[in-house]
Amino acid sequence: MDRAAFVAEQQRLLQLERQAELAEAERLLRTRSDAELAARGTTLLRLVVADLEPGFGGRLCAVLQPSRQGPLPAHRFAPGDVVALRESREGAPVATAVVLRTRAESLTLALDDEDVDLPPLLRLDRLATDVTYRRLGDALRALLRDRTGDDGRYLDTMFGAREPRFADRPSDAEIRFCDPNLDPAQRAAVAHALRAEPVALIHGPPGTGKTTAVVELIRQAVLRGERVLATAPSNVAVDNLAERLAAAGLSVVRLGHPARVAAAVRDVSLAALVDQAPEQKLLRTVRREVEQGLRAVHKARSRAERATARAEVRQLRTELRQLEGALTRGFVDAADVVLATLVGAADPLLDALTFDRVVVDEAAQALEAACWIPLQRARRITLAGDHCQLPPTLHSEAAAQGGLATTLFERLAAGQQGPLVTRMLTRQYRMHTAIMGWSAQRFYAGRLEAAPQVAGHRLCDLPGVTTTEWTEAPLCFVDTAGTGFEESVGDDDGSKHNPGEAELVAKLVAALRSAGVAATDIAVVTPYNAQVQALRLLLAHEAGLEIGTIDGLQGREKEAVVLSLVRSNERGEVGFLAELRRLNVALTRARRHLCVVGDSATLAHHPELLGLCEHLMAHGWHRSAFELG
């Protein structure tokens, strides 16, 4: 593969994606009223600055409250969201910021500009930021630099111009594994990754303990004296790794904005480590002086007073950054494992550092350009993921079709060297054998096996759950063909919903609940947002029941899953259902009970979906919706 042509095409596709993201944000602002945007939870109106305070790194933080005393209205702003502050709907943003904290009566924002003057009355809009795209572009441009020696051989291998190399040692029989419970496939994958020069792939189908293997690999690398940069595309995945590595006793540092770090790993976040350092007394003194200076800026009555106060704050901030910089560098340098999101690996703290190994978990959900941000920091890499599940979510269909949705993991696995660099995990620890059947055959060449402890488990085996026809059956198919449960187009952006099917799903949930299955053990999933909203209205009384899209459940599991396929029409149109990787995710979230609800007459128009229907009827408990009333 020609590297220059690849970079040029990726840059073009990223530009298409950026334009689509901006167009969608602009469309909402243009076509929705302020009241509608506020109702969607993406806009807050008539906010005032209640306070200014210093954050980590001397960043200016603003506390916003409603202009009328009382709690904030319902909204969808969460820590880590990028937002724009405006005086009015038509005005350009006066500032951009990251949500730091949310409380019932206030939002705390970390502002990107430390010298901004905030007006007395503000509106807040969720924003499509361009920071990520700049970092992706920088990573791609770095691939074009002339490389020789190890650098050149590394890139030649990654782009198919050179065969990968593997050391003779160690074999999996010669490794003292830290986790004695690893199965043979996990052990083989770890040993393979340790030998690989420069790249190895760990292919982890659903429930096969992929992250367990990744944690073992990192522990083995540290035992060999390696420094590791561990990354993933999402904060959730990074936090999961950080929690498990810290529990294993490794010295870890989690980089990233404090607002985006989970509470479970906050103690190993860089901000917390700095906060707990012995030098913190001096830092607190300087922060207090910065805070007093910020309040002086906020209260200044003249431009001259504001300028003087701001100059003093700027000097104090410089001192604060220097102190924090020395501390942070020390923590990062001392860590065995540094953790960050893929985009977060562009942190300037890492600029002068090289690592012995970079590990990317959930690599099959990441844009290839994003993977190249951390991959520049080491010449030995391991990618872990499953390209048979959902690829990255994109706004631009043209960019996706053009190849932006093809991840580095998928490209390498599907390439000529794929069999050489890839090891697949083959024992799954989640699903009853009947639940995994279709996916195992369709996506994993029949190589998956269920671990003995899960192969036959059912809902009726759970404490407090009675034995019924539903709790005994691990796999069910409720066919709505001929019932007249036709799909409809929802009011929200043309999303589909099926009212009759939604009511049927509510009955199925009621049957599980009556048998004693806890609401927290059940998930109701569907490909369509409009169906999610319809189901939430019908099942609002079921506290703890999770209802959401298939995409939102990727990487997670429940004891019971009810899947609503929605599509039912005379034209045989199946829409999202034709994306079989999405179906693979949906069908592999359940541990003990999977119930699929759909119209076999519509599904039969698609060969693969017809095959799914035939599999469900042959291997599951098949009922017609007519029988359920």
Terminal-to-terminal C-alpha distance of the chain: 58
Can you tell me the mean pLDDT for 609-616? 96
Q: Which amino acid is at 555?
A: G
Q: Judging by DSSP bridges, how do beta strands 60-66 and 107-111 pair with one another? A: antiparallel
Tokens (6 digits) for 1: 């593969």
Beta partners for residue 561, in sequence order: 523, 594
Query: Which band of pLDDT confidence, cut at 50, 70 and 90, is reported for residue 81?
Result: confident
User: How far are the Cα atoms of 42, 154, 250, 484, 531 from residue 149, in angstroms, in the given order?
Assistant: 50, 9, 33, 67, 55
Tokens (6 digits) for 5: 């042509």
What pLDDT does residue 276 have?
Answer: 77
Query: Which band of pLDDT confidence, cut at 50, 70 and 90, is reported for residue 119?
Result: confident
Could you give the CA distance from residue 395 to residue 27 in angstroms, rounded to a whole number? Answer: 13
Mean pLDDT is lowest, of 83-97, 304-318, 326-340, 521-535, for 304-318
Q: Where are the alpha helices (DSSP H) in 159-279?
A: 184-195, 210-223, 235-247, 270-275
Query: Which band of pLDDT confidence, cut at 50, 70 and 90, is reported for residue 280?
Result: low
User: How far are the Cα atoms of 76, 145, 349, 437 from residue 204, in angstroms, in the given order?
Assistant: 33, 33, 31, 16
Is a pLDDT exceeding 70 seen at residue 522? yes
Q: Which helix (H) or strand (E) holds 556?
A: none
Could you give the CA distance from residue 43 to residue 403 in angstroms, rounded to a whole number? Answer: 33
With a CB cutoff of 8 Å and minimum separation 6, the contacts of 377 are: 229, 345, 350, 353, 354, 355, 358
pLDDT in tens, 445-469: 999 999 999 999 999 999 999 999 9
What pLDDT does residue 98 have?
Answer: 85
Could you give the CA distance from residue 489 to residue 493 in angstroms, rounded to a whole number? Answer: 9
Can you tell me the mean pLDDT for 59-82? 84
Is a pLDDT exceeding 60 seen at residue 84? yes
Could you give the CA distance from residue 489 to residue 486 in angstroms, rounded to a whole number? Answer: 10
Residue with tokens 């594994």: 177
What pLDDT does residue 351 have?
Answer: 86
What pLDDT does residue 212 have?
Answer: 97
Helices and strands: H and E segment counts in the chain: 23, 25
Could you give the CA distance from residue 447 to residue 449 in angstroms, rounded to a whole number? Answer: 7
Please tell me what DSSP assigns to residue 554.
T
What pLDDT does residue 182 have?
Answer: 97
Can you tell me the mean pLDDT for 81-98? 85
Sign of CA dihedral 6, 12, 18, 24: negative
User: What SS3 string covers 117-137?
Assistant: CCCCCEEEEECCCCHHHHHHH
Beta partners for residue 458, in sequence order: none
447 three-state secondary structure: coil
Tokens (6 digits) for 132: 């990520």
Could you give the CA distance from residue 355 to residue 339 in angstroms, rounded to a whole number? Answer: 12
Q: Phi and psi for 35 in degrees, rounded to 5?
A: -65, -40
Q: Which helix (H) or strand (E) holds 555?
A: none
Residue with tokens 């929705």: 32
Could you give the CA distance from residue 231 to residue 281 in angstroms, rounded to a whole number? Answer: 32
pLDDT in tens, 182-196: 999 999 999 999 999
What pLDDT does residue 328 have?
Answer: 79
Percentage of the chain lying above the pLDDT 70 cut: 96
With a CB cutoff of 8 Å and minimum separation 6, the contacts of 103 are: none
Query: Which band of pLDDT confidence, cut at 50, 70 and 90, is reported for residue 3?
Result: very high
Is a pLDDT exceeding 80 seen at residue 611? yes
Average pLDDT, whole number, for the chain?
90
340 three-state secondary structure: strand
Please tell me what DSSP assigns to residue 459.
G
What pLDDT does residue 40 have?
Answer: 74
Query: Which band of pLDDT confidence, cut at 50, 70 and 90, is reported for residue 406?
Result: very high
Query: Which band of pLDDT confidence, cut at 50, 70 and 90, is reported for residue 56?
Result: low
Query: Which band of pLDDT confidence, cut at 50, 70 and 90, is reported for residue 529?
Result: confident
Among candidate residues 510, 507, 514, the one with its CA nearest the CA of residue 483: 507
Mean pLDDT is lowest, of 37-51, 318-332, 488-502, for 318-332
58 touches 114 (CB < 8 A) = yes
Could you give the CA distance from residue 477 to residue 285 in angstroms, rounded to a whole number? Answer: 65
Query: Which band of pLDDT confidence, cut at 50, 70 and 90, is reported for residue 128?
Result: low
167 three-state secondary structure: coil
Of residues 132 and 438, more confidence is placed in 438
473 three-state secondary structure: coil
Is a pLDDT exceeding 90 seen at residue 320? no
Count CA atoms within 13 Å of residue 546 on its CB side: 19
Tell me whether residue 518 is exposed, middle or buried, using C-beta atoms within 10 angstroms of its C-beta: 0 to 12, 13 to 18, 19 or more. Answer: middle
468 touches 460 (CB < 8 A) = yes
Mean pLDDT is lowest, of 11-15, 42-46, 168-172, 501-505, for 168-172
pLDDT in tens, 374-393: 999 998 999 999 999 988 98
Tokens (6 digits) for 430: 């989640």
Residue with tokens 């179906």: 583
What pLDDT does residue 299 have?
Answer: 73
Tokens (6 digits) for 464: 């407090």
